[in-house]
Amino acid sequence: MEREQALEELKGRVKNENLIKHSLAVEAIMKELAFYFKDDIDKWGLAGLLHDIDYDKTADDPSKHSLVGADILESLDVESSIVYAVRAHNDYHGIERKRKIDKALYCSDPMAGLITACALILPSKKLEDVTVEFVIKRFDEKGFAKGANREQIKSCEQLGISLEKFAELALKAMKEISDDLGL
């Protein structure tokens, strides 16, 4: 599946503009990680872009989130490794994250939320004013951005990168698309 078709499919199924922006942020982080690991940038980007494609259908039932999404992606003939990564990104199901793409999606999802929250508490509300140090400081504040699961973010270490390096890569990626994110 080409990126433009993927974005069209996402927008056709997800009506919340902030969730679309979140998907764009996760896509950017995944592409940056793929570049860092010298892996398939387009494939990793699609996994990030499409990871919440089922959110409108499953918002009231987290036990179905990512399973419905994987089914949607299978019906669209999306590559099986992307489908698996999407299916495995929801902890609820206990699906083993086997490959780097699976592990990357799992930690990138909440990192996008944490970085967005960091930008939104600044007077400027701009990503350009967010630093890696600021992200790490907020990461350590348990009451901040409670929805951004810290253990999930910290699982970046399973990829062989430190939390600081992950924050650096993720922030760089999101800054590059700050206009699309409205941040």
Q: Report CA dihedral (180, 154, 89, 145) to the nearest 10 degrees.
A: -50
142 three-state secondary structure: coil
Enumerate the domain spans of the chain. 3-181
65 three-state secondary structure: coil
| pLDDT per position as a tens digit, 74-106 | 999 999 999 999 999 999 999 999 999 999 999
- The mean pLDDT value for 13-42 works out to 98
| pLDDT per position as a tens digit, 61-73 | 999 999 999 999 9
| pLDDT per position as a tens digit, 111-166 | 999 999 999 999 999 999 999 999 999 999 989 999 999 999 999 999 999 999 99
Task: Report the pLDDT value the prediction gives residue 169, as an integer from 0 to 100.
Answer: 98
Distance CA 60, CA 38 (A): 38
Structure tokens at 58: 């499953």
Pick the CATH number of 3-181 from 3.30.300, 2.60.40, 1.10.3210, 1.10.10: 1.10.3210
Distance CA 84, CA 96 (A): 10
29 three-state secondary structure: helix
1 pLDDT band (50/70/90 cuts)? very high
- The mean pLDDT value for 42-59 works out to 97
